[in-house]
Amino acid sequence: MSLAFIAGALLAAAGALGVVLARAPVHNVLSLVVNFIGLSILYLTLQAEFLAVVQVIIYAGAVLILFLFVIALLTVRREAPHGPGERLKGQRTAGYAAGGLVGVLLVAAGMELFGGSGQAPAPAEGFGGAKAFGLELLGPHLLAFEAAAFILLAAVIGVVVLVGRPKKGS
Amino acid sequence: MESAAIAPYIAISAVLFAVGVAGVLTRRSPLVILMCVEIMWNAANVVFIAFARQFGHMDGHIFAFFVITVAAAEVAIALGLIVLIFRRRDRVDADDLNLLKG
């Protein structure tokens, strides 16, 4: 385990915990930034350079700005603390227990299947770089690429239809 | 970059996914629930990329890229819906949105 892996894993885990535990919406978003930076470091240790860059640009750049815009536009308030008025009794405890159970199961299954696998052989030259990625994306996966473009178009049109205010009299 | 065995990556991915699950189940602000869903998408991405590295195959990278694309589209739509809900009420709480309850 390299130092970079430890740093990335700690950042990612701390950011995720911050998202779940922080009360103020802006703090949630900032924790998510930390989480994404940590993930980007993890991608770098896996020689996925292109995806590390994409992660920072798309997630830390675009998606989080969207979140910040919504929070700033709508002046989202702090979430009310869980109290006696909470509708589902014991929701919090049950939620944390379920999350812990999922985590234990996933770790156990992963270690059972791949805990003994050794070091991977060094990948081919240029693995994970933009060139290899582009050749793979626009070669064998061209159809999926086109489908992704269609999904993004549908999302743009969907948002305009949902949120755009209709003109008066139409 | 030195090569790495895959087990630690599976472990950190499982931890992130579990934290996301706990967040979705415990938090009540739709914005935070959406962020926790993002954490779970990313936990899946870590495993995709780790296995791509393990088997020396770029397919995992492609899949992770499409996950990022779909997640971006999902965030755009979901934030649009949240803005719509905010226009109708002054506070948003997942517990209050029970119009479809039978």
Q: What is the pLDDT of residues A77-89, one digit of tens each?
A: 666 665 555 666 7
* Three-state SS at B63: helix
- What integer pLDDT is reported at residue A91 of this predicted model? 80
Q: Closest partner residue to A46 among B35, B53, B84, by Cβ? A: B53
* Three-state SS at B77: helix
Residues 6+ apart with CB under 8 A from A46: A128, B4, B9, B49, B50, B52, B53
Q: Which of A12, B16, B89 is nearest to B30 (CA)?
A: B89
Q: Closest partner residue to B25 among A71, A80, A99, by Cβ? A: A99
Bigger pLDDT: A169 vs B90: B90
For residue B13, the chain A residues in CB contact (below 8 A) are 106, 110
The C-alpha atoms of residue B76 and residue A156 are separated, in whole angstroms, by 8
Q: Do B76 and A44 touch (CB under 8 A)?
A: no
The C-alpha atoms of residue B22 and residue B85 are separated, in whole angstroms, by 24
For residue A42, the chain B residues in CB contact (below 8 A) are 9, 12, 46, 49
* Three-state SS at A148: helix
- What integer pLDDT is reported at residue A151 of this predicted model? 94
Nearest chain A residue to B39 by CA: give it: A16
pTM listed for this prediction: 0.87
Confidence band, pLDDT 50/70/90 cuts, at residue B45: very high
Nearest chain A residue to B67 by CA: give it: A148
- What integer pLDDT is reported at residue A148 of this predicted model? 92
The C-alpha atoms of residue B87 and residue B92 are separated, in whole angstroms, by 10
Q: Do A17 and B19 touch (CB under 8 A)?
A: yes
Lowest mean pLDDT among A14-28, A94-108, A114-128, B71-85: A114-128
Assess contact for B39 and A12: CB atoms under 8 A.
Answer: no
- Residue B94 burial by CB count (10 A; 0-12/13-18/19+): exposed, middle or buried? middle
- What integer pLDDT is reported at residue A111 of this predicted model? 84
Q: Do B35 and A19 touch (CB under 8 A)?
A: yes
Q: Which of B12, B81, B13 is nearest to B45 (CA)?
A: B13
Question: Could you tell me if the ipTM is greater than 0.90?
Answer: no
- What integer pLDDT is reported at residue A86 of this predicted model? 63
Q: Closest partner residue to A20 among B19, B38, B45, by Cβ? A: B19
Residue B29, CB-side half-sphere exposure with 13 Å CA sphere: 30
Assess contact for A67 and A75: CB atoms under 8 A.
Answer: no
Q: What is the mean pLDDT of chain A?
A: 84
The C-alpha atoms of residue B41 and residue B30 are separated, in whole angstroms, by 17
- What integer pLDDT is reported at residue B3 of this predicted model? 46
Residues 6+ apart with CB under 8 A from A84: none
